[in-house]
Structure 1
Amino acid sequence: MRDTKTKLSVQYKLMMAIGTAFLVNAIILLTDTPHPDAAAVLFVFAFIFLWVPQMLPAHEKYQKVIYTGNERRRQEGSGSN
């Protein structure tokens, strides 16, 4: 018996992580040292990296993972140790 599950793709996770890093850096620039021009540029990059992944088609956003019976038994066995 095979179970098919979907999980987020690596590209999607990477783009979201980069966007979050840009957003955190922009907030730090605004609060720590007053550099509104640099913070504005980082906010634009953060918006791009956080918005573009939402517009990806489903086949690029998610990847299917197929578990066979042996893999499931192996995963269940390793989790109980």
Structure 2
Amino acid sequence: MGQWQKIVLEESADLLKRARAPLTPVQITFDHDEQKAYLPLDLDVSPFDNSNTKKEGVSRTYKGFDGYSPFFAYLGQEGYGVNV
């Protein structure tokens, strides 16, 4: 992991902490009324169309064009962006 990536990860977490952002879990009830809380982390691939460009690292996306397909992650029911 590059230095800038490490900084982005640390600052994303620090921002949520300093803002005292609420992180709302999903409550699941199992047999015998046992409850557990899970914090959702939703992942989404979003292909960016870079056809007709000369950018490095461009490859074919699942949508059928040349581009990048970065992952985006959203934390909690609030959907806070993670590592952005």
Question: Which structure carries more helix by proportion?
Answer: 1
TM-score calculated relative to the size of structure 1: 0.26
- Structure scoring higher RCO (CA < 8 A, sep ≥ 6) equals 1
- Higher Cα radius of gyration: 1
Question: Which structure carries more strand by proportion?
Answer: 2
TM-score calculated relative to the size of structure 2: 0.25
